[in-house]
Amino acid sequence: MARRPEIGSIQLYPLRPLRQSDRNGFVLKFYCPVRGKRIRKNCGTRDRREARRVLRECRERLLDGRYVSSNGAITEAQELTLKIVPLSAPIENQGMTWQDCYERYRSFRSKRSRERSLVDSLSRICIAERILLKSFGDANRNGEMFMSEVITLDSLEFLQERFLAGDECRYSKRSRNTVNSMLAAVMAFVRFCHKHGWIEKVPAVEKLETRDVMKGRPITGEEFERMLEATSTVVGQDASAGWQFALKVLWESGFRLSELLEFSWDDDEKIHPIWANRNQQHSTIIVPPSQKNGRSQEIPMLPGLSKLLLSVPEHNRNNFVVNLELKSKRSRRVSTDKVSRIISLIGKKASIVVKKANKSEGTRVKYASAHDFRRGCAARLINSGVSAETLKVVMRHADFATTERHYGAIRSAQAAANELNKKLKSNNTISSLVGGLTGGVIEKR
């Protein structure tokens, strides 16, 4: 027999201080007597003290009946808002709420997506929810949004505009690429709802036009040296050796940052090296299917990476290849997000700008990041004459189109430059032009 729900039992999530990735802020989870099931309600704040105050007020309202009489307002301020706005049609005729659909979608995706992809996707949907709630939520009972009302072409175009304007963002404006990426996550959620019959159709929202350019650029050898020099000023002298080693591995491997932190000496379940032996002429790297393209691959180990790894004493070749430390977190591994931010700080300290600010496009100045090391590795391979097919293998792109899109222009420019230098390189000092012109004077024949 199911346990009877306890009115007034509320949990505040997350239980820890908010991180930058917790874009939905603090959330209350409790049994709602109005709807007859457990629900979640956004506290509307990122301040833990204020969230606890909202929790206490919500508990009081649940116990004294004001929550039910107000049709589900968790605070007095919310109740006043609901009274000002006239009620819409009865709930039973509205269909599924955004929250119900979100919980179903989260459960569905959690069993089918990589953790990082899931977090990014759900956080973008939660941002969309907060933006739409400001415009649509107050017009419904209990401050809820019903999918049949909010999933329209007008509302999604409005959402697109608010994304671009920088709503729910720490910056004043988002770039067009970012907006397209965020809206793609929302549209995947919308298509899921349509597939289950919770909405009648999927509105055809037109993507914003963007320039097909890299978010950064390849860093040069000189810039790499400057970042190594700037490392100690960012992480401290004691931890600088480990961080410099991490930058060198990124420089020589072409790894993504998440792959760098999963690079192991001896764990077959993670990215690990296979050293050259009697049966294998060259050293390689095994990459498990947890990588971005979802495939298990064996790729060649680049000579520079092999030399770097062999420089590590054998008695230190165990567990993870890269072990990073911070002054405040010596007992546990540093998260990918934290490492990403610190490498960007090193790039900023070294004054390496990979993309200038563009107010018209809503882009900010970007300093060298971990992924620019990967771009630098690819550029060096292209400059060395490596074919596009080999580059695709080393970079582990899901298809050749990705390689061609990001690095095709560099490869074509290098090939054209090589051809021009070969054709035009000559010991002939005569500067005559076609038609017998020399210095603009017609030669006499």
Q: How many C-beta neighbours within 10 Å does residue 393 have?
A: 15
Q: Which residues of the chain have pLDDT under 70?
A: 1-5, 20-24, 81-94, 136-144, 212-214, 278, 291-294, 327-332, 361-362, 400-415, 419, 426-445
Residue environment code for 263-289, b if the CB has 16+ CB neighbours within 10 A, otherwise e? bbbeeeebbbbeeeeeeeeebbbebbe
What is the domain class of 221-416 according to CATH? Answer: mainly alpha
Q: What is the pLDDT of residue 83?
A: 55
Predicted confidence (pLDDT) per residue in 147-159, tens digit = 888 899 999 999 9
72 sits in the region (left: phi over 0; alpha: psi -120 to 50; else beta) called left
Instruction: Retrieve residue 442's tokens.
Output: 């017609």
Domain residue spans in the chain?
1-84, 88-210, 221-416
Q: What is the pLDDT of residue 3?
A: 54
Q: What is the pLDDT of residue 219?
A: 92
What is the domain class of 88-210 according to CATH? Answer: mainly alpha
Q: What is the pLDDT of residue 105?
A: 93
Q: What are phi and psi of 28, to 5 degrees?
A: -100, 140
Parallel, antiparallel or unpaired: strands 441-442 and 353-355: unpaired
Helix (H, G, I), strand (E, B) or coil at 273: strand
Q: What is the pLDDT of residue 143?
A: 57
Q: How many C-beta neighbours within 10 Å does residue 433 have?
A: 9
Q: How far is CA 214 from CA 95, 348, 372, 403, in A?
A: 43, 19, 10, 12
Residue 394 in contact with residue 282, Cβ under 8 Å? no
Q: What is the pLDDT of residue 326?
A: 73
pTM beyond 0.85, yes or no: no
Q: How far is CA 272 from CA 257, 284, 332, 352, in A?
A: 15, 9, 21, 31
Distance between CA atoms of residues 240 and 387, nearest Å: 36
Distance between CA atoms of residues 160 and 176, nearest Å: 10
255 half-sphere exposure, CB direction, 13 A CA radius? 26
